[in-house]
Structure formats: structure tokens, C-alpha cells
A and B are shown apart, each in its own frame.
Chain A
């Protein structure tokens, strides 16, 4: 893979028993880039992100961070550099801990100084009032939980953020705020994003390049300009672009 890339996958295969969730996936992301993953539901996008984070069993292939192949359990340094926002806002918060405690935990593990200030700062940055720190997850709405999860990932000040549909549980006004925050941070700190989304509007706003996936395989890599111009070479990518224009019952027959 090319030398300058920060994060790259090389012929990654992930299997769960007989299920091949990711069959052959390669891409390389350079520092400061935002790379989009789109594709069919169940095509292995989340699994690819989990594999990078060391949370999915890699059957073969490599994950490389800054030129080094990652193998086995990840170390503390890796967790400092790479963070992830999970797809499901309901599943990714501990049900019996207050929000404050859950945000403190990563800071404690990584021995950050002035923890309370950081926690309060980050909860405000994602647009939640400080009183939410003392709530339990079941007292928050879906979008509020997702913002807590985003806050938790930002706390560690990582270089690479793996974002698994970070805004699909948010209404468009909050989504705009979060996307703006992500764009600001990217400029401030040269953050690198790997972003999964089903919304071509989001991908088009955020990403420099994107990869279309289906059945655990890469279908096509496109640039942002390609996306805007609707230049897709593969049939599946064309179909996706077509479908993203919206719901027209009459037109549905040709989509399927």
C-alpha cells in the first residue's frame, strides 16, 4: 500500500463461523482525510470498523496504522490514537452508570489531568446541558445518547475516528451541529475520519473519497467529485445513487 497512508486495510477477511462478513477489503486513508464507507445493509461496514479496532476476528489480511501492522490485542497507545463511535446509541452506553462516570472512565484509564473540566467541556461541545451528566442512559432520548457516545470518543483526543453512522439517530439540526463540530476538529487537530453513512448528503459534505461495499466486497471507489457528478461505473453504485433521490412508488420497479 502507499507509504503516506495513516490507516490502511490490505485484503482484510473477517469470518464469524460460516458467515463471511468481510470478504476482501482493501483501502488506504491518508492523514487528515475523511474516507466514506457506504453500501448495502449487512455488507460488513461495521465489521470492518470493528476489525480495525481489534473487536472482530481477523481471518486474514492486515490492518496497518502509520505503517505498522496491528496484530492481536491493541495496546493503550492504540486506544489513545484510534476511537470509535458505535452504530447503536442504545447499546453503546453502560446501562447502570451515570453519563459522568462513563465519560470519566476513559480519562481515568488513560490518566488525563483535570478530568471534570474536560468532561464538562465535551458535553457542552456536543450540545447537551451539564445536568445530563448525572442521568442514566435510560433517561435520555436516542439522539441524546448518540451525542454522549460521540463525546466519549472525542474525549481521548484521538488521531483517527471510526464513525459508524454517527448521525443517523439525530435530527437534521443537531446533525448539522455535529457535522460542523467534526469538520472544525478535523481542521484544528488534523483528525482522520473513517465514516460510515447511508446518507449521501452527509458523505458528500464530509468525505474526500468513498468506497461502495456490497456482500463484504468493495464495489467501487469514488471521489467526492464523482459522487456529485453521479459518475459511477458499477451497476450497484449507480442503483444506490438512483435510490438516494427518494421514494417514488412508481420508480421502484426498476430499483429492485
Chain B
């Protein structure tokens, strides 16, 4: 799988507004990835979600995206027409958003919405789509898929909504899945099952995965490579299994902040002294 990389990003910038107050939320991010599992961790507000959205051309309307190169499987994203983007989005790139409930249509049942994305990705009959929907819901560890398929988004628990969003994206079997904190509301056993499902898809289909998460330990065990972001920049890229030997002070600080059962209950957690030098 060493042929042309699936995603190539070079010097990506996302800027809000013009003139004096322009604010760079993403400041020169570069990485490329093949069909692998890439983890992104980093400070809240450091531009992780925006980087993912930029790849899909989904940044907010008042943001300006520039890059030397922003390509998916050879397609130039910045030059793509809205129509080409829609085609990529539905079929080849899936995005599990950080805010699943907000992204689902509040007045349609979730079964209908998953079926729609199934039909968008491949031509199947409604009956077949229905079967696939139930299968996929079961695969993301939903116990009673019939009920959940009939439910409206507000009737789901936080973790169920996350899994519904995941089902909606994996049912199209995309080549690249961008998962923005996809398991933050899942209990640990379900989380492991969902990760195993992703692993199977990656093995079977050669899917690439960008996995944005705050769970350092999970990322280090699950992903192949980790990108650490701070204030709109990548401060460190390292093989996942070497996370504990990270060299950058920010990454080391993060590892230090992890709450763990080895510390006595009620003791204050160590916090991070953010240094101005990390920004540049």
C-alpha cells in the first residue's frame, strides 16, 4: 500500500475573517497518509475538527481555506466543484461529526436517514437498504435495532446517537473515514466493539481512517500513527506505540494529566503550564 497517498495535506490554513482581526484557527498543517489509522489528538480548540472539515470542504461560511496542497486520492479538494465534492462526500469520504445529534435531521427517523445514505452510496432497493440498516445498527452494538431505526434523534441516548452517525457513515463503505471523537460517549465495552468494527473495515476494504480523539491511551493502542496538535499547528508526529516516549513538552504534559487509578482519590491532577514557545 505504498502507492500514491490517500490524503495529502500541505500547509493547510483556515482563517476566520479578513483585516485586522483575522484569526488563524489552523496554521500550516501538513501530513499525508495512506490506508492506515491516523490518530489526531490535541488541545481543545486547536483546529482538529476544522482540519477534518477542510478535507471535505465543510468549513463554516466565514472561513477561508488555503493550502499548498489539499488532495484526496489525487483529487484536488480546493479546486473541486460543489458537485464533485458532493460525490466525494457521500461515497468516498465519510465524516462522523463531533455533534451527532445536531447533524441528524430532527424530524426524520434515524432508520430513514441511514437508509438514505446507503442509497446514496450504492444503488440498492428500499427493501435491501432496510436490511442493511438493521445489520449495520447491530454491528455498531445497538441491541434493539428495530426500535432505534424507528426512533427520532431526540429519543436516543448520547452514545446511541454517536453509533447511529457511525452506522450512517460506514454503511456507504467509504475509502476514507474521518471520525471526530466518535466514541467519547460510549462505555468501554461498546467502544471496543466499535473499534473492532472499524478495524475489520480497514482490513477488508483497505479503508483509511482519521481518528480524532482525546483518549490518549485508546489512540496509542488503536492507531498506527499519531499527530499531536496545539494552537492550530502540528507539534509532533509519532508512531502510536511510541506515544509514551513522546519528546515534545506539550505531549509529555498531556500524558502527565491523564487521570488514573494509580493516583489517590481526591488528589488534584497535574495541570499543564502552557508555554508561549509551543505556538510557533
Contact = CB atoms under 8 A, between A and B. Distances in A.
Do chains A and B make direct contact within the complex (CB under 8 angstroms)?
yes
Interface of A: 16, 19, 38-43, 46-47, 87-91, 138, 140-144, 147, 164-165, 168-177, 179-180, 183, 198-202, 204-208, 224, 227-228, 239-240, 243-244, 246-249, 252, 255-256
Contacts of B269: 176, 179-180, 205
B218 A247 contact: yes
Contacts of B216: 172
Contact of A205 (B99, B157, B217, B259): B259
B158 interface: yes
Given A40-B189, A179-B269, A224-B265, A46 B158 contact: yes
Given A173-B257, A175-B259, A143 B187 contact: no
B254 interface: yes
Contact of B254 (A165, A172, A227): A172
Contact of B157 (A41, A172, A244, A252): A41
B102 interface: yes
Given A169-B181, A171-B44, A172-B254, A205 B101 contact: no
A90 B45 CA distance: 14
A255 B259 contact: no
Contacts of B217: 246
Given A90-B99, A201-B258, A227-B261, A144 B44 contact: yes
Interface in B170-213: 181, 184-193, 195-196, 199
Interface residues of B, number: 58
Cβ-closest 4 pairs across A and B: A143-B44, A41-B159, A90-B99, A201-B259
Given A169-B181, A173-B254, A198 B158 contact: no
A156 to B, nearest CB: 23
18 contacts: A39-B187, A41-B159, A41-B163, A42-B160, A88-B99, A91-B102, A142-B99, A171-B214, A173-B253, A175-B259, A176-B270, A180-B268, A198-B186, A198-B188, A201-B260, A206-B266, A249-B199, A252-B193
